[in-house]
Amino acid sequence: MEIRDAVAEDAPAACQVLRWSITQLCPADHRNDPKILARWLCNKTPEIVASWIAQAGNSLLVAVEDGSILAVGLVTDEGKITLNYLSPDARFRGISRALLGALEVRAIERGNARCTLTSSETAHRFYLSAGYSEDGPPVRQFGTLSYPMSKRLAVQNLRFSRRRTCPRTGRSG
């Protein structure tokens, strides 16, 4: 599995992962209510995903295996994680955690000491287990309860970074 920056050609497949993840993995949030699902999915189109990829200040990352996108994440230059969705058939393999680590590294590379996000009910325990804490009471979003959360980023998270140390000289490069 590889985590990389998304390119415009990834938009349709990334959009499919977003929509499939929401509909299949988040029933605790949307309760299969068509109105809630419609609100949550209305901005999950290939055209909008392509605009997120192209938008300055966004880092949209994809986890790819054998040419298929398994997960989609987005962090802004301000350290706000706005997407972290996993294909239902890729669950319990550590992909979402690896993607979260890559998003955090990108936030560090952009000069952030913390990441913020708004978690769904479905992902709430996942983020708590990844070191995030609640930043206040739950809020309504798309007709569901969401949890404002944040995490102070540690320098050791740079182990996910693209920077490597030369074994001969010990210098970063």
Domains with residue ranges and CATH for the chain: 2-160 (3.40.630.30)
Q: Which two tokens stand for residue 95?
A: 């992909």
Q: Distance of CA 31 to CAs 21, 37, 144, 145, Å?
A: 14, 9, 9, 12
Cβ atoms of 143 and 121 closer than 8 Å: no
Cβ atoms of 61 and 74 closer than 8 Å: yes
Worst-scoring range by mean pLDDT, 20-24, 29-33, 53-57, 129-133?
29-33
pLDDT one-digit tens code per residue, 102-120: 999 999 999 999 999 999 9
Specify the pTM: 0.87
